[in-house]
Amino acid sequence: MHGAILARTADTLTLARALLAAALAGAVAAERVGIAAWLLVAAWCSDAADGRLARAGRQPTRLGRHDLVIDTAVGVGLLVGMALSGHVPVLAAAGLIVLLGGGFLALGNAALSMALQAVAYASFIVVLWRAAPTLRWVPVSAVLALFVLEFRRLIAVTIPTFLADLAALGRRRHTNGFIRPRHGAGRQE
């Protein structure tokens, strides 16, 4: 019973983050970067919390397998909002979304998603730094707090996953016009 409640709560947070991705795009496009900063912090906190709840519940969640797709959507939402508001060139945002986001969806390579998110978050922090100086501290403080809270997971899971998937991209080869992994390359899921 306890595990089921935790799993449902984790799924609710994951779903809320998906909705936050769309809200972020709208807020940034409407030049409401202060609101967007708080929405981004909420998305980051929901990501950390849903994972902790799911692991504590020790049973699968319905949305857990889509967690990285939803994290990617948060980055895409920021890029779309910044492109619509003129903070980043439309072609640059579209290129990043197609190359990194599309690559992630096509190849299932987490490093591509993480790279898209990193570029989107860093770009937004630069926008926020210029447009809302009094709110600069909001995402920066959240990053520092989440770094402290999630340090062990960052070192044990996130960084090794990023590096392994980055290396797996380098081991891919072309065959008959399609990109296929070499035998034994990439993560086993």
**Residue given tokens 């008959």 in the structure block:** 176
Residue 63 pLDDT > 70: yes
Crossing angle of the two packed helices 33-57 and 137-149, in degrees rounded to 10? 10
pLDDT tens per residue, range 122-154: 999 999 999 999 999 999 999 999 999 999 999
Percent of the chain with pLDDT over 70: 90
| Residues 133-167: b if buried by 16+ CB within 10 A, e if exposed | eebeebbeebeeebeeebeeeeeeeeeebbeebee
Rounded to the nearest angstrom, the gap between the alpha carbon of residue 94 and the centroid of all alpha carbons in its chain is 17
- Nearest-angstrom CA–CA distance, 89 and 142: 27
- At 1 the pLDDT is 65
Please write the tens of the pLDDT for every residue from 19-52: 999 999 999 999 999 999 999 999 999 999 999 9
* pTM of the predicted model as reported, rounded to 2 decimal places: 0.88
Residue type, 23: A
Mean pLDDT over residues 71-88, rounded? 98
Rounded-to-integer distance, Cα 179 and Cα 185, Å:
12
Average pLDDT over every residue of 58-64: 90
Please compute the mean of the pLDDT values over residues 58-78 and round it to a whole number.
Answer: 95
